[in-house]
Amino acid sequence: MHEFTERAALAKALSDYIGAALAARVARDGMASLAVSGGRTPTDFFEELSTRDLPWSKIAITLVDERWVRETSDRSNAALVRHHLLRNRAAGAKFVPLANDAPTPEAGLFAVNEALEDLSWPLAAAVLGMGDDGHTASFFPGGDHLDEAIDPAGSLGLIPMHAPAAGEPRITLTLPVLLAADALALHIEGEGKRAVLVKAQGEGPATDMPIRAVLRAPRPLDIFWAP
């Protein structure tokens, strides 16, 4: 657990952490991939990371999950990445969105999977967020494909998700893909999210608070929190 008194300090430390993972993978393989979350939390982190001196032309960025909306929607995680991360030095990175013009995630799944083949796998780094209901990525309580998505031995890398609290249809990377990342971070801010984290660290089914599937995985998870 990395705790900060200021959100700006968190953004710098998380950028150091992710930047180191990306640089190490580029040094080893000549390329690296990063998956980031959407929502409201990552804006400051994205803007800080975008200024870092990294080999961006060798780095591909995708999302951990996406709402199945057009990029003109203010709900689009891809739009958030384009506005706040793919700028400054990071403007040279390749971006592979998780949504396309198909009417549903099921209809668009094949094309997204094909586009993701351009990334280098496993991910060098993944940054997760967490909702107040304990969802992470689009692993929502009550999700129609939740069991498959959080199966650590599952064979799928990308899966559609429909859930009562999700707002719109979703598409998400699955747990095994996220757990395979060289560096895995959970980025949360505010006292409310900290209380949700403490609750998730207690007992109970992972399907009630799907972040538990990550917290209980046998691999390191770096949690970044600021008030």
Residue number, 26 or 188, with CB nearest to ligand LXAUTJHC: 188
Residue number, 33 or 41, with CB nearest to ligand LXAUTJHC: 41
**Helical segments of 5-76, H only:** 7-29, 43-50
Q: How far is the CB of 30 from ligand LXAUTJHC (least distance, A)?
A: 29
Residue number, 28 or 70, with CB nearest to ligand LXAUTJHC: 70
- Helix axis angle for 7-29 and 43-50, nearest 10°, is 50
Q: How far is the CB of 225 from ligand LXAUTJHC (least distance, A)?
A: 12
Sheet with 170-173, edge to edge strand ranges? 65-67, 170-173, 158-161
- Write out the residues near ligand LXAUTJHC by the rule CB under 6 A: 37-41, 64-65, 67, 77, 129-131, 138
Q: How far is the CB of 27 from ligand LXAUTJHC (least distance, A)?
A: 29
Residue number, 15 or 37, with CB nearest to ligand LXAUTJHC: 37
Q: Which residues contact 126 (CB under 8 A, 6 or more apart)?
A: 34, 35, 36, 64, 173, 178, 181, 183, 184, 185
Hey, which residues does 189 pair with through a beta bridge?
A: 226
